[in-house]
Amino acid sequence: MGVDEPKDKALVDLANQGDAEAMTLLYRRHRDWVVSLAWQFLGSRDDALDAMQSVFSDLLKRFPGFELTSSMRAYLYPAVKHHCISLKRKRKKVVPLTSDHLDGVDLQWNRSFEGDFERLIRLLSHEHKEVVILRFGLGMSLDEIAASLDIPVGTAKSRLHNALKKLRKIK
């Protein structure tokens, strides 16, 4: 983001006032990140583009009145994850009986991480793997991770600490 470019919260405020250019700028600023993240979950460019379209369509429907309480990426991450889960379910033609099945869908990260990182994260539990990938694979802060996963910052710190502790033992 350049020095003169408005921050996401300012753009959200403008978009809430009906400024279409502000919404366009939010879209342009985050679309590549959303596609990249969706591709990591889905392993298909076409499916990633479908997920991106759904995510931004849903975001647009929230205006006016949308309130950004964290970073835009922290808001977008769970939306992308949810849309990817939905797409995977549609592809498998599986209909869950309850919403409890949401956590049972295992999203595999399709992105090839470099060498030891890829090998090591496969050894972690889903909760620990997700936090490690968000922190080191996607560069999110602990506050953004907590907001993305809807968990307290302390829980995000604890999961990251325990994951790193396990990784240190493995070496």
The answer for residues whose C-beta is within 8 angstroms of residue 102's C-beta and 6 or more apart is 85, 96
Nearest to 80 by CA among 112, 113, 107: 107
Residue 5: pLDDT band (50, 70, 90) is low
Q: What is the pTM of this model?
A: 0.71
The confidence score (pLDDT) of residue 4 equals: 55
Query: What are the chain's domains?
Result: 1-110 (1.10.1740.10), 112-171 (1.10.10.10)
Spatial neighbors of 46 by CB under 8 A, at least 6 apart, are: none
Per the model's pLDDT, the better-predicted residue between 102 and 21 turns out to be: 21
Taking only the tens place, the pLDDT of each residue in 54-66 is: 999 999 999 999 9
Q: How far is CA 152 from CA 2, 14, 17, 82, in A?
A: 31, 29, 31, 20
Pick from 110, 85, 108, 107: which is nearest to 95 by CA?
85
CA 73 from centre of chain: 7
CA 29 vs CA 42, 47, 80, 121, 144: distances in Å: 22, 20, 15, 29, 17
Per residue in 15-63, pLDDT (tens digit) is 999 999 999 999 999 999 999 999 988 988 999 999 999 999 999 999 9
Q: Where does the pLDDT of residue 104 fall: very low under 50, low under 70, confident under 90, or very high at 90 and above?
A: very low
Give the pLDDT band of residue 10 (cuts 50, 70, 90): very high
- Side-chain-side CA neighbours of residue 98 (13 Å): 3
For residues 91 and 95, which has the higher predicted lDDT (pLDDT)? 91
